[in-house]
Structure 1
Amino acid sequence: MAKKKILHIITRLEHGGTLSNILSLMEGLSKEYDVVLALGSFKTEKEKVEKSAGASGCRIVWLEEFRRNISPLKDLNTLMDLIDLVLRENPYLVHTHTSKAGILGRAACAVTNFKNTVHTPHGHVFYGYFNPFVSSIFVLLERLAARFTKKIIVFSNAEKKDHLDRKIGQDGKYVVIPNGIAPAPYLKEYDIAANKAELGIAPEKKVVGFAGRLEPIKGADLFVKAIKQLSKERTDFTAVMAGTGSLEAAIKENAKEEIKTGVFKMLGHREDLSEILAIIDVFVMTSNNEGFGLAAVEAGLSNKPVVATRVGGLPEIIIDKETGLLVPSGNVEALCFSINKLLDDQNEAKRLGENGREKALLYYSEEKMLERLKNLYENL
C-alpha cells in the first residue's frame, strides 16, 4: 500500500527550536508517510538542509521567492507556486509551520478547496517582533487562516491562550503537543575539563550560560546586564553566550570590558550545544516571550538547573523551585539573586537539575511528540 503523502510548508529552516523540531518530524514521519518539504530557497542553507532533511527520506521542494520579510510581489508569486504545488502533489494532508508560511500555505489550500490542513505556529509574532499596526495585521490574517484549518498545533497551553485571547479559532481547534527532542546527546558523559580548556575557561571557574538567538524577544540584553552586575559581586565564574543575531554587535560593545577580562565569552553559533551545556553550572533563559522554550528542555536533559523568566510556555517546563527557578521578565535584580543562589548552593542546583532531567525524559521526548502527531494525523 502506498504511503499517505504529507506536504509540510515552512519559510526557512533556521538554527534553534524550529529547525530541531522540523528535522525531527521529517526523520520520524518519513518512516510511515511520503513526506514532502516545501521551503524558501536560501543559498546559505541549501546544502545543510538537503543533507539533513534529505537524509531523513523526505523530498524537498525549493520555492525561489519564499521569504520571511513582507514583499507583495514575491508573496503573490509564492502563493501561486503553493497553489500549483498543492494541486500537483495532491497530498493526504498539508501541515504548515510558522506565521507567514502558515498564512500563504493555508491560503493556497483555501483557493484549491483543500480541507485537510493543520498548522503549527512555533510561537507567534503578536508582540515583540513588529510595531503594533503590523502585529494587528498578522492577528487579522491568523483569524482568517484559522477558518481554513482543521487543527492548530501549539507547544504549550500558554501559546494556546495567546491565540484564543486574540480570537484566533475556537478552543476545540487547538491541540497541545509539546516539542520533543532525542535525549541521547544530552545524556552522554563529556570531558568537562577539556571542554572548558577549549573555550579558555579555568577548570575551577563555575559557568553561567545562555544559548539562543541574540534578538530582543530572547532578552539577551538582560543576560548581559546580569553578568555585568554579577561580575562586580564575585569572581568565581565565567559567563558564556552561544548564538547569533541582530543584537550581537551591540552586546559585544556593551560587554567589551567583560569580554576583555575573560569574564564573558561569546561563542557564536554552536552545533555542539550538548557539549556546551555539559560545562554549565547554571543555565539562564531571559526571554520576553516564549511559545515553548526548547532550550529549557535541553538544559534539563543535561541535568542543569535553569533560571528562566516567567513568560509564555516556560512555566510549564520550569516548575518554580522544583525543576528550576522562575523570575519576572526584565528584572535584573531577581535574575542575579537566583543565579547567585544556585552558584552558592550546589545541593539545590543538583536537585533542580535532576528533577529537570526526570521531567524532560518523561514528557518531552521526540518519540512522544511523534506519537501524538501521528495520532492527530490519523484522526482528523
Structure 2
Amino acid sequence: MHDFKILALTKATGGIALYNRLLLSELDKMGVVSHTLCLSEEAESYAQNLTELGLGAEAMPMARYSIDPLGDARVLMRTLRLVRDLDVDVVICHGSKAGFIGRAVGLITGRPIIYRQASLPFLKRVQGRKASLYWALDFAAKWFGGHVVTLTDYARRQTLAHKLVRPDRISVIRTGVDIDRFRPAEDRAARIRALGLDPDRPVVGWIGRIEAQKAPLDYVDTLRRVAGRHPEAQFVLAGEGRLRGEVEAALAAAGLSDRVAMLGWQSAPEQVLQALDVYVLTSHWEGLPLTLLEAMACGCCCLSTDVDGCAEAIEDGVSGRLVAAGATEDLASALDDVLRDPGLRRRYAGAARQRTVALFDKTEMVAKWIELLSNVTAGKSRARGTPRPIIPARSPSEGR
C-alpha cells in the first residue's frame, strides 16, 4: 500500500482521459488517493465516470486549444485551493496546457509536480503555426520546476533537444494496456457476427476520434485504392468526431458506403478489436496511441503511420508495417499484401501480441509510476492536518 495523495489535471476526452483513468484506477488498488480536475469538453460526463469508479473528480471549464486569461486563471485558482484543501502530495498534469498551469501551482505551493506529455505540440508538424507558442509555454514552465514524463524515447530526445527540461528531470514511462482484457478472443467468430459481419471473410478496421489528427480521410483513400481488388474483405470504421460528415461523403464519392460499416463510438473497444484481422492507424501525429497498443494486444495485424511513438510500438516488417503519414498509396500496398497473404497477417499479429506483453503491460507502467512518485515526494514530508472539506467549484454563471 502507498500513502500518496494525488491531484490530477487532465482534459476529459481522448487518450489523455483514458490514460488518467487507467493510471488512477490502478493506483487506487494500491491505496493511493486521487482527485481529478476534469477540464475542457465532456468534463461533466468524465467526472461522473471517475466518480462511479470510486475516484474523486470534479468538472471545470477550460478552453482546450486557446489561451483564455480569465478561464485559465480560474483553473489555476481552483487547483491552488484543491492542493491546500486536499493536502495533496503531488500534482500530475496531463497535456501541455494543464502542464503549464500545474507547474505554476508547483512554483507557488512548493508541491512536487509531474507533467506527463501526451504529444509534442512544440513541433511544427504537430501544431503548425501554434508550435512556437507551445514551445514558449513549455520553455517558461521549465523554470517553474517539476518533473516531465514522456511516453517514448523519441519524445524524451525531442524534449531535451528543444531545451524544455533538464536531463535529470525527465523520465520515460511507456503507456501500458490491460493485456488480460485486450487479448485475442476465445470465440472470434462470435465477435465478428456481433458486428453483423461474416466470420469467413477478413475484417479490416479503423478506430478513433474522427478528427484531423487521426486522418480518417486517409483511411477512406486507402480503401478506395484496395477495396476493388479484395471483394472478400469487410471494412469497419468506429468512432465519432467533427469529420464524420466528411468521411461519410468521401465514402459515398468512392462508392464505398455499402462496403464500410460505420460503428460509432465504442465503450468496449476490445469487442471490435477482437473481431479484426487488420487494424489500420492513419494518424499524422501521436504520442503513443493507446488504441494501437490495444489492437496489438488483441492479436491484430497492425498497419500504422510511422509518427512519434508508433515507430517504437511496431517493429516494421516484424510486428506490423509502418508507412509515412499521408502516404496512402504505400498504406494501400501494405494492406494489399496482408489481405493477399493470411500467413503474413498471422505472423504480424502473433509478434504484435508478444511485443505488447513484453513492453507495454500496464503492470510495468504502474510500477514505474510508483517509483517516480516515491522519488519526487522523498524528503517532502510535512506536518499534515486533517484535510479540509472540498469546496465545490463555482460555475461561471455563479459569478465571482
Alignment TM-score > 0.5, same fold? yes
Query: Paired residue for 2:48?
Result: 50
Q: How does 1:200-219 map to 2 (within 5 A)?
A: 200-219=196-215
Indicate yes or no: 2:233 matched with 1:237: yes
- 1:353 aligned residue (345, 349, 352): 349
Indicate yes or no: 2:223 matched with 1:224: no
Query: Paired residue for 2:395?
Result: none
Amino acid aligned to 1:317: A
Amino acid aligned to 1:35: S
- CA separation in 2, counterparts of 1:261 and 1:294? 28
Indicate yes or no: 2:36 matched with 1:37: yes
- CA separation in 1, counterparts of 2:2 and 2:349? 45
- CA separation in 2, counterparts of 1:79 and 1:279? 44
Change (3 A) 1:322 1:231: same
- CA separation in 2, counterparts of 1:277 and 1:267? 12
- CA separation in 2, counterparts of 1:272 and 1:371? 25
Deviation at 1:56, TM superposition (A): 4.1
Give the unaligned 5+ runs of structure 2. Answer: 377-400
Amino acid aligned to 2:3: K
| Stretch deviating more after TM superposition (188-197 or 312-321) | 188-197
Deviations, residues 95-142 of structure 1 (Å, cap 9, x unaligned): 1111111111222222x242411110211323456441x321111011
TM-score (structure 2 length as normaliser): 0.87
Q: How does 1:1-380 map to 2 (within 5 A)?
A: 3-10=3-10, 12-15=11-14, 17-30=15-28, 31-40=30-39, 44-47=42-45, 49-51=47-49, 53-63=50-60, 65-70=61-66, 71-110=68-107, 112-126=108-122, 127=124, 130-132=127-129, 134-187=130-183, 189=185, 191-257=187-253, 261-380=257-376
- CA separation in 2, counterparts of 1:365 and 1:290? 19
Number of aligned residue pairs: give it. 373
Change (3 A) 1:161 1:29: same
Does the Cα contact within 8 Å between 1:21 and 1:181 map onto a contact in 2? no
Amino acid aligned to 2:17: L
Does the Cα contact within 8 Å between 2:40 and 2:64 map onto a contact in 1? no
- CA separation in 2, counterparts of 1:278 and 1:34? 34
Deviations, residues 21-64 of structure 1 (Å, cap 9, x unaligned): 1111111222232212122376x55345324x22444322333x
Secondary structure of the structure 2 residue equivalent to 1:326: strand
Deviation at 1:260, TM superposition (A): 6.0
Deviations, residues 162-198 of structure 1 (Å, cap 9, x unaligned): 3223221133321000011212222263544443334
Secondary structure of the structure 2 residue equivalent to 1:61: strand
- CA separation in 2, counterparts of 1:109 and 1:348? 51
- CA separation in 2, counterparts of 1:244 and 1:286? 15
Deviation at 1:303, TM superposition (A): 0.9
Amino acid aligned to 1:85: L
Between the two proteins, what is the percent identity of the paired residues? 24
Give the unaligned 5+ runs of structure 1. Answer: none
Deviation at 1:288, TM superposition (A): 1.1
Secondary structure of the structure 2 residue equivalent to 1:26: helix
Amino acid aligned to 2:34: V
- CA separation in 2, counterparts of 1:107 and 1:366? 30
- CA separation in 2, counterparts of 1:152 and 1:286? 28
- CA separation in 2, counterparts of 1:214 and 1:316? 24
Does the Cα contact within 8 Å between 2:150 and 2:156 map onto a contact in 1? yes
Change (3 A) 1:369 1:362: same
- CA separation in 2, counterparts of 1:278 and 1:327? 24
Does the Cα contact within 8 Å between 1:39 and 1:62 map onto a contact in 2? yes
Does the Cα contact within 8 Å between 2:27 and 2:366 map onto a contact in 1? yes
- CA separation in 1, counterparts of 2:65 and 2:324? 31
- CA separation in 1, counterparts of 2:187 and 2:101? 47
RMSD over equivalenced CA pairs, Å: 2.2
Change (3 A) 1:113 1:46: closer
| Stretch deviating more after TM superposition (316-325 or 213-222) | 213-222
Amino acid aligned to 2:75: T
